[in-house]
Amino acid sequence: MEPWTPLDIDPECAGGPEELVERLDAMGPAVLSRLLAEESAILFRDFDITSETLDDVLDRILPNRYGQAPRPATRERNTDDVWTVPGEQPHVAVRPYNRMSCTHAWPARIALFCHTAPATGGATMVVDGARWLASLSRDLRERFSPGVRYVRYLHDGSGLGVSWRDAFATTRREEVEVFLDGTGTEWCWTADGGIQVSRTCPAVITHPVTGTDVWFNEVHRWHPSSCSPGDVLSRVLSVDRVPWNVTFADGSPISGEEVTQICESGAAAATDIPWNRGDLLLLDNVALAHGRRPFTGTRRVLMATSD
């Protein structure tokens, strides 16, 4: 298979965000949706988009923007529906994943905007989910066919990882229960005041437009062998007190070797998209997984999502 690359859209006239807005208006939502279904990602370069002009563009490519609920306390909010994640570890790569694929509902589209480009590195890694799935062994695909079970333990304010108050942005247990009941998540309060939540999700889904089966999960991000210091935590904590974990749908463990195969297959299929200040990348979150290369300097990429 030929290497996958996004569709590049560059200025044709004077450039600037005004030209991009005009071209998106002329294109219309239906044509944009068709292009995204065909290409999986569209990269808008050299339009000199700024934080002040970003909203006008996002209104046209993400017509139903929304934020996150519940909101982790560590997430820096910029507006109600555009955010960035502070405290990145520049020397650590973020392995590609499908955003919110471990939840009951996920965004169909993601927009990434480069506010500040890094000095070196920092490219967004993009992996075609159909290629990723095809690269895995048949035995592994069969083992994951029933789905995966994501498990989180959230402490009561004293412990490792995130507390349930921070995770759900509330101090009231009843609000947590109402939210979880609405998502079909299994949960139980623990004797030490924490809560354990678990959810079984598919590892592979069918793209709603193209009908293509794609690898769609966060197994390698949740597995203790991939999550330092998660690997250390799994050695000193009981399995029901590890802050995050993932198993096969029946609760049986996923081996480190299986996670390694998943990660190596994804890395082999990844396409790097380097950043320049003002670039904007529109991604199909079902067709593509995305991650980040290590970088030096300051890197600030804003994100917005839409159904």
Residue ranges of domains in the chain: 7-88+99-119+275-306, 132-265
Q: Is 124 exposed, middle or buried (0-12, 13-18, 19+ CB in 10 A)?
A: buried
Options 3.30.70.260, 3.60.130.10, 3.40.50.1110, 3.20.20.70; which CATH number does 132-265 get? 3.60.130.10
pLDDT value of position 85: 58
Interatomic CA distance for residues 20 and 57, integer angstroms: 7
Q: What is the reported pLDDT for 73?
A: 37
Does domain 7-88+99-119+275-306 correspond to CATH entry 3.60.130.10? yes
Concatenating the DSSP letter of every residue in 25-40 gives HHHHHHHHHHHHHHHS
pLDDT score at 1:
59
Give pLDDT, residue 271. Answer: 95
Amino acid at 169: A
- What's residue 104's pLDDT? 85
How is residue 306 written in tokens? 């839409």
In the block, residue with structure tokens 């996004």: 6
Please choose, from the candidates 304, 273, 291, the residue with its C-alpha nearest in 3D space to the C-alpha of residue 6: 273
Strand runs labelled E in the chain: 7-9, 41-44, 65-66, 76-77, 83-84, 94-97, 109-116, 120-121, 124-128, 148-154, 186-189, 195-201, 204-206, 213-215, 244-248, 271-273, 280-284, 288-292, 295-296, 300-306
What's residue 287's pLDDT? 97
pLDDT at 68: 44
Q: Do domains 7-88+99-119+275-306 and 132-265 have the same CATH topology?
A: yes
pLDDT, tens digit (0-9, with 9 covering 90-100), for 16-35 = 999 999 999 999 999 999 99
Instruction: Tell me whether residue 235 is exposed, middle or buried, using C-beta atoms within 10 angstroms of its C-beta: 0 to 12, 13 to 18, 19 or more.
Output: exposed
User: Which residues of the chain fall short of a pLDDT of 70?
Assistant: 1-2, 67-81, 83-88, 226-237
End-to-end CA distance of the chain: 30
